[in-house]
Structure formats: structure tokens, C-alpha cells
Chain A
Amino acid sequence: MMGLERSHSQMKPVAREEGQKMSLSVLEGMGFRVGQALGERLPRETLAFREELDVLKFLCKDLWVAVFQKQMDSLRTNHQGTYVLQDNSFPFLIRMSSGLQYVEEAPKFLAFTCGLLRGTLSTLGIKSLVTASVAALPACKFQVMIQRS
């Protein structure tokens, strides 16, 4: 483990960034697969959605409760296909720190969940891009941008 860290820090910053981007997309991809499958197994009767907003509300309530045993803290939208889902105490980050310590490490712990949201949306027939950002742990925001074709 120590050896691995050392070799990483010796890599050129550009190469390291590239490497991290790659591994984040692998994690995101795994989350996507899981989200897709999870979407199929969600209670059918609750899936009679008419509006996009209902689907997003469903993610914030039912999906989040199923996965993290809590609801999303807030949901905002610009009514043009961009949604911001905020969790003020995201379970994957809550044990890491409270504040700025380890804030650079946070993206690794969010990529999977971004994929999870995107995968579930995909099963529900919505194409999207999902990114996450952290200003201070353990709060984080997931931005969902709906892709219209």
C-alpha cells in the first residue's frame, strides 16, 4: 500500500489526473449497472409517473431511502432539465470528516453514486448526465442534467 502511494505521487500531475479520471469513470460505470438493475426491481405501482419532476422526487425519496436509509435533504431545479439534489450528510462521507479535511478524496466516494442515479434514471427512460460536488464534508450535491434527444 505504501509503495503504491509513493509511486502515485511520483507520477506527473497530468498523468495522475488522467488516471484518476479513468478510474472514476470505471466506478461510475459500476454504479450505472447497479442503478439500472435496481431501477428494474423498484416497486412497480409507484412507477406510474407522468412528469419528470415526479421521477426526480422518487429518486430523492424512495431510492435514497432504499440505498441510504434516509431521504435526500433538498431538490432544486431550473425547470429546464437541470436538477440539484443535495444531501447534507451523505453516508459515504459522514465518517471521513466534518469540514475541509479529505475534500480532495471525496470524488472517489461519489462516482459510484452518480452512476447509480444515472442508471436508475436510464431504466425509467431518462437519459442524463450526473455529476457531484463537495464544498465541505459530509455535505454533497448531485447535479442531474437531463439529455434531450
Chain B
Amino acid sequence: MSRQTNRGTESKKMSSELFTLTYGALVTQLCKDYENDEDVNKQLDKMGYNIGVRLIEDFLARSNVGRCHDFRETADVIAKVAFKMYLGITPSITNWSPAGDEFSLILENNPLVDFVELPDNHSSLIYSNLLCGVLRGALEMVQMAVEAKFVQDTLKGDGVTEIRMRFIRRIEDNLPAGEE
């Protein structure tokens, strides 16, 4: 914020604002295009999925992460490497199910919602639902079928933002998964 900040960080901050604002414009447009919030949620998830299946390639090429052997390792990589790399935040991992097939990502500050206020008439809109699609799409490309969903959201008055991740099954065949 100060004048001394050099150009590099300034422009990086700017591009994260650019991302946040662009995402906001996208959600706004979808809310115009579709009559109900459920359809907007669905569309955001689908767009996220299509981003995720591409993003995973970028991620694997840029990080030195090998194959994860269990869901716990996957959780670590997602929170500490992937979220850090793409959103500049490190969510914490909590609420493991006894079977080890479910956990939660707690987001302290979700960069997607930086300038957002949800109007009352969009109470069922899951504003950041794109993220769920990204997670699902990216993990599908590494043979993991998962379900990702928001169970708490600061935009809706919850104390924290929580994404619940559930491992469904390992995808056996190596055929590329068809598009939705």
C-alpha cells in the first residue's frame, strides 16, 4: 500500500485483484443469465471442473509433487502447495472422518470474495462454487473421484469458510475421462 512498494509486488497484487474482480463479473453475469441460484451454482461448478482438468497439468509441471499414496497426503498437497500457488493462501486441514476419507479445508480469507457482499435475494447462491469444480476436475485427472462442497461460508454469516472434501473412489481405468 505504501509508496515504497516496488512495482513487482504491486502488479502481483493487482493481478489478484484482477482475478477477483473478473470472477465477480462472471458470477454477476451468470446471475443475469439464469433464473435461479441453483443453476448458477451448477454452472460455476461445471466451469470450475473444466478449469481443474487443465489446471492439474500446470500444477504437476510446476510443482515437484509425485503421486499421492493416500488421501491425507492429497489433502496436504492441496492445502499447502496448490492453494498457496494459485490463490496465495494456505487453508488448514481439519475434521478428518475416522475412516480417513473425508476432511475439511478451512479458508481464513477466501480471495474470491474480497469485495463481495451477497444481496439477500441470493441466499442459496454458493458464490465461490467454482473452487469445488476445480478441485473435483483436477483430482479426477489423477484418478481420484471426490466430492467437494461448501458447508460453511463467511459470506453467509458463518465464522469461517469450509470446503468439505469426500473421497468417493479411485478411478481404475486410464482412459481419459469424458467431458461432462
Contacts and interface: CB of A to CB of B under 8 A. Distances in A.
Interface of A: 1, 26, 29-31, 33-34, 37-38, 41, 43, 45, 65-67, 69
B50 to A, nearest CB: 9
B15 A30 contact: no
The 10 tightest CB contacts between A and B, nearest first, are A66-B14, A30-B25, A34-B21, A33-B25, A37-B21, A66-B11, A1-B179, A34-B25, A34-B22, A65-B11
- Main secondary structure on A side of the interface with B: helix
Interface string B152-166: 000000000000000
A67 B25 contact: no
A38 B25 contact: no
Between A26, A34, A45, the greatest number of chain B beta carbons within 10 A of the residue's beta carbon is seen for A34
A34 B3 contact: no
Contacts of B123: none
Nearest to B5: A43
Contacts of A26: 29
Interface string B9-27: 0110011011001101110
Interface string B106-132: 000000000100000000000000000
Contacts of B14: 38, 41, 66-67
Chain B binding surface SS class: helix
B169 interface: no
B7 A65 contact: yes
B63 interface: no
B74 interface: no
Contact of A30 (B17, B22, B115): B22
Contacts of B22: 30, 34
A52 to B, nearest CB: 23
Interface of B: 3, 7, 10-11, 14-15, 17-18, 21-22, 24-26, 28-29, 115, 179
Contacts of B7: 65
A30 B29 CA distance: 7
A93 B1 CA distance: 32
Nearest to A115: B25
A141 to B, nearest CB: 22
A38 B18 contact: yes
7 contacts: A30-B22, A34-B21, A38-B18, A43-B10, A45-B3, A66-B18, A69-B11
Contact of B15 (A29, A31, A37, A66): A66
Given A30-B29, A37-B21, A69 B15 contact: yes
A41 B26 CA distance: 19
A120 B17 CA distance: 14
Contacts of A33: 21, 24-25, 28
